[in-house]
Chain A
């Protein structure tokens, strides 16, 4: 049995639908992981005692264990304590937290690298600590580490395929469904690979656009 890509016809809808869920998972998780990662970086640097313990726990859990286990824990485990999340939400939470802890490390390094004079200038104008961080330090830090964060985002897009194990009909699972219909794994996995590749290219362009923006002020 040779390759026959005409088999894909009739399944475009399934694949496109899967791609849309993958984009949804990825975009939601990227946004959330950046927000959480930034907050974690800022709080850890400010040495706020109230948050130190919970943050350390989250970092330990999400850096030290596999994403697959985290997905199972959040989707199947939390039900036991009464948190019944739908699969998509559970997937977004797992991906966000998993990448937030890595983002936090990157952003923390970015913040530390911003010249101390920036903070002093902001405070000398009467800005509070939070305002100085928000308006001066964090934006500069994020621009500085945009390339490294971009790599994390591309990794996140790819890792989002793991969410298929809890039944989110994203691209990988959609391809699998089509395969169990047709018994043509090669064509459908290849088709999914091409779609992942295209999505990656789009994401790369988005990261480049941010980098260009920051190049304006360098």
Chain B
């Protein structure tokens, strides 16, 4: 395993119209590293995550994934091609699952690899069964999403992203839409991925989970990285006032 970062973000700026929401972000993620991204609401965590696979384009700065410049300046068609290729290697899991409601759980998982020619239908089905088993949903393969609980939906969504065999996974508050009793089953799957050394960036409001699973925590506020470090250091001995205030508020609230 090389020690070059698999994700490298350099001086990233992003504005929505006149409002700058990312104000010069630098960040490196090493292969196999698990980064927790925390910070108050509106600080730009989702936006940052979504620039990595270019669901959100950037105003200036550079993003590298696996050595390649993600936000290359290309003519529209070539840019689309480049991004389609790149996104296959970056799994993303959303707060509201975004499962395809007209497809069963297993069809959700097999759709992309088959459509994109990664696997034959037979291979994809076998792979999907293995993934559903891994997330504990072997018995739900033929259910439509509407018949699944939130926790089950989110585990299918994780399986769907894993089916493309990505090099890194992005999680955007994947448990915040869940009933509290369903959070654990999703967190467990993420922990398992962490043990398998999947590279992950996890945006979360659950600081306990962050400190459990992450080996690096980044605290963002108002579009900048205020402070970062190993979870122990950041949670036990934050250096900045802003971090202290945030942690205090979260732990009290």
Q: Which residues of A contact B (CB under 8 A)?
A: 115, 117-118, 120-129, 131, 135-136, 139-140, 143, 214, 216-218
Contact = CB atoms under 8 A, between A and B. Distances in A.
B111 A135 contact: yes
Instruction: Tell me if A's interface is mostly helix, strand, loop or mixed.
Output: helix
A115 B98 contact: yes
B55 A120 contact: yes
A6 to B, nearest CB: 52
A218 B91 CA distance: 26
Contact of A217 (B102, B112, B160): B102
B84 A126 contact: yes
* SS class, residues of chain B in contact with chain A: mixed
Given A117-B96, A135-B111, A216-B144, A126 B116 contact: yes
Contacts of B101: 140, 217-218
Nearest to B147: A217
B243 interface: no
Given A117-B94, A217-B146, A218-B146, A126 B112 contact: yes
Contacts of A128: 80, 84
Interface of B: 53, 55, 80, 84-88, 90-92, 94, 96, 98-102, 111-112, 115-116, 144-146, 157, 160-161, 164
Contacts of A125: 87-88, 111-112, 116, 160-161, 164
Nearest to B118: A126
Contacts of A135: 100, 111, 115
A128 B161 CA distance: 16
Contacts of A140: 100-102
A118 B96 CA distance: 10
Contacts of B161: 124-125
Contacts of B53: 124
B20 to A, nearest CB: 23
Contacts of A127: 84, 112, 115-116
A124 B102 contact: no
Nearest to B160: A125
B84 A120 contact: no
A123 B87 contact: yes
B102 A139 contact: yes
Given A125-B161, A127-B115, A118 B55 contact: no
